């Protein structure tokens, strides 16, 4: 079955950048919509970015909190999806997760959650 591994988190100063990776094994990520989520301690897990798997009509979505700062993209040769984060703010501090949606869209049932990678934005 498909398994996902997140990586790329770390400590970064406000205004800095990080690139997170979601790498799949046991299945092809290009067959799924892929979402990025984040969860701060004691808070609900929120979807922040997503990319669909619709043939000839790939679409990306972003939460308002990250719009214009984060970019999601695929690298199918590496069976991976990246989240490029720029202009990081203190409020971006969270554990970041990726997941897939077998129905090809960015809402509904998510599965194959990874273990998460921690991002800490601090001076």
User: What six digits make up the tokens of 29?
Assistant: 């990520």
Mean pLDDT of 19-32: 96
Residue 31, SS3 per DSSP: helix
pLDDT at 1: 92
Least confident of 68-77, 86-95, 100-109: 100-109
DSSP per residue, 60-92: EEE-TTTTTTEEEEEEGGGTEEEEEE-S--GGG
Q: Residue 93: which region, alpha, beta or left (left: phi > 0; alpha: psi -120 to 50)?
A: beta
pLDDT at 102: 84
Mean pLDDT of 17-45: 96
Least confident of 2-6, 53-57, 86-90, 111-115: 53-57
């Amino acid at each position: 079955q498909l398994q996902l591994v997140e990586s790329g988190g770390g400590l970064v100063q406000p205004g800095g950048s990080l690139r997170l990776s979601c790498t799949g094994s046991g299945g092809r990520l290009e067959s799924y919509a892929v979402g990025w989520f984040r969860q701060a301690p004691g808070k609900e897990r929120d979807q922040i970015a997503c990319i669909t798997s619709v043939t000839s009509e790939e679409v990306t979505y972003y939460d308002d909190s990250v719009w214009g700062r984060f970019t999601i993209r695929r690298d199918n040769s590496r069976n991976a999806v990246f989240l490029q984060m720029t202009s990081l703010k203190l409020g971006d501090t969270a554990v970041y997760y990726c997941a897939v949606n077998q129905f090809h869209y960015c809402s509904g049932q998510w599965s194959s959650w990874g273990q998460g990678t921690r991002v800490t934005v601090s001076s």
